[in-house]
Amino acid sequence: MTGPGGGTPLRRLVVLRHAKSAWPEGVPDHERPLAPRGRRDAPAAGRALAEAGCVPDLALCSTAVRARGTWELAAARWDARPPVRFDPRLYGADVPELLDVVHETPTEVETLLLVGHNPGLEELVLDLAGDGLDDALDEVRLKFPTSAVAVLAWYGPDWRALTPGTALLTSMTVPRGEKPRA
């Protein structure tokens, strides 16, 4: 899809905060696994992205165990898995670091998924969104919990053109999996 004026493609940055993680004693933060709730919610996030037509062309994922687990469980809900790059720079990244990684995205990618951590992801969404549909911006400002999915849309010739205030926050959802029945 091209934007106003014809040649500039519509691009989407889909931001997924990792699902709920466990806190096992003696396990370093980077190695923390998903908690049972996270193992339920991550597939729900993948299903929600598929239903919204937001399956990415490329995924960039933190190397942390909980982020990788979120990616694996979400992507398992799609007919075809897009390529994924596990990037250690996404672990604990702030907005400038996250933007550096996003700006390296190949031009042919129109929908990019970023799987990572707070507070960086929440701050990135708020920084990039010049406006939002409905109450999406207010929801992100209130809380960007585990498994939250934000979709930012913008027109640009390449990913380097994505700068603060240039995107529209089209949605913010928090997909949740069903709790097992007793």
For residue 144, which of 18, 13, 42 has the smallest C-alpha distance? 18
CB–CB of 137/9 below 8 Å? no
pLDDT at residue 83, as a whole number: 97
pLDDT at residue 3, as a whole number: 52
Tens digit of each residue's pLDDT, the chain (182 residues)? 445 545 678 999 999 999 999 999 999 999 999 999 999 999 999 999 999 999 999 999 999 999 999 999 999 999 999 999 999 999 999 999 999 999 999 999 999 999 999 999 999 999 999 999 999 999 999 999 999 999 999 999 999 999 999 999 999 999 998 877 66
pLDDT at residue 131, as a whole number: 92
What's the predicted TM-score (pTM) here? 0.93
Rounded to whole angstroms, the maximal C-alpha distance in the chain is: 57
